[in-house]
Structure 1
Amino acid sequence: MTVLTWPPELPRPLRDRYQAQATDPRLKRAQDAPIPGYRKRYSNAANGVQLSLVLSRLQKGVFDTFYRDAAGRGTKAFWMPDPTTDGWPLLTPGGKYLLAADGSQVLMSKRWLCVFGDEPPSETLRGMTFTKSFSVWVMP
């Protein structure tokens, strides 16, 4: 089975709408003492991430087709660039950009294995752009 890839035509998610939350892999132990105790419920757990994209009409069509047809309305896994890492420049310990031999910046690369979240994507129309808000589960 081939895993889908996030469409490269789509822009980076909005930074001010990004929100991530780890899934709690613990199970609280039943006890009478007032101090809580926990044990592991799972060895690994997915992380939930809320994302929003500002899209042109053409990009909205790309997103809708990817979600509806390629990802089976959110039922299939896909690779997505990690918006907190992918494409960001590497820095030296002194805080300067790390440069390649040709003088270009060296960029980090990272991707997530995801599935769409529990709710289908929502959409807001603002002027000539669409804001798509959705969640993904990032697999461990």
Structure 2
Amino acid sequence: MAVLIWPSDLPPFVLRDGYAETLDDGRKKIETDSGFDFLRLESPGFEQVAASIYVPQERVPRFKRFWKVETKKGTRPFVVSDQLLDGKMILDASGEPILIDDAPLLVVAKWLARFAPDQAPRIEPHGVRFQISMQLEILPLG
């Protein structure tokens, strides 16, 4: 089965306002009879990302199709741009962009993500556009 790609006709980057990352936490607390509780790494955990995009009304059905049909209501993972790194310029030690043929060298960074299982995406009107808010889980690679 091929891995899905975030649709090119939806915004590739989310809004900065409302964006939040929660680092992965696979710790498990083990209570003791006395003293401090122990913490043990139980599973790798997933980073959680709260994200939103604005789309015009005519793009809402496209997102719904991606959610309902392509990801089968969020059960299939997909590749999406790393929201902090993808497309950023690579700088040299002095802070200047590294150029190739007079064009800056850019980072290509992607996430393997899925919609978080505890919350379906939410669509709300905002003026003439619609805000689609979603919780993503960033899956570990390798």
TM-score when normalising by structure 2: 0.89
**Aligned position for 1:78:** 78
Amino acid at match of 2:27: R
In the TM superposition, what is the alpha-carbon distance from 1:32 to its structure 2 partner?
Answer: 2.4
Alpha-carbon displacement from aligned partner over 1:106-139 (angstroms, at most 9, x marks no partner): 1111111111012111112112111100011111
Structure 2 distance, partners of 1:36, 1:93, is 44
Alpha-carbon displacement from aligned partner over 1:68-92 (angstroms, at most 9, x marks no partner): 1111111111111111111122122
Structure 2 distance, partners of 1:62, 1:96, is 40
Say whether 1:115 aligns with 2:106.
Answer: no
In the TM superposition, what is the alpha-carbon distance from 1:33 to its structure 2 partner?
Answer: 2.6
Asked whether the 8 Å contact 2:114–2:138 carries over to 1, the reply is yes
Structure 2 distance, partners of 1:133, 1:39, is 33
Structure 1 distance, partners of 2:92, 2:9, is 31
Structure 2 distance, partners of 1:125, 1:132, is 9
In the TM superposition, what is the alpha-carbon distance from 1:60 to its structure 2 partner?
Answer: 2.1
Asked whether the 8 Å contact 2:46–2:139 carries over to 1, the reply is yes
After superposing on structure 2, the runs of 4+ consecutive aligned residues of structure 1 that deviate more than 4 Å are: none
Structure 1 distance, partners of 2:79, 2:45, is 18
In the TM superposition, what is the alpha-carbon distance from 1:36 to its structure 2 partner?
Answer: 2.8
Partner-residue secondary structure (3-state), 2:130:
strand
Aligned residues: 138
**Aligned position for 2:36:** 35
Partner-residue secondary structure (3-state), 1:52:
strand
Structure 1's unaligned 5+ residue stretches are none
Say whether 1:47 aligns with 2:47.
Answer: yes
**Aligned position for 2:124:** 124
TM-score when normalising by structure 1: 0.90
Structure 2's unaligned 5+ residue stretches are none
In the TM superposition, what is the alpha-carbon distance from 1:96 to its structure 2 partner?
Answer: 1.9
Asked whether the 8 Å contact 2:25–2:46 carries over to 1, the reply is no
**Aligned position for 2:105:** 106
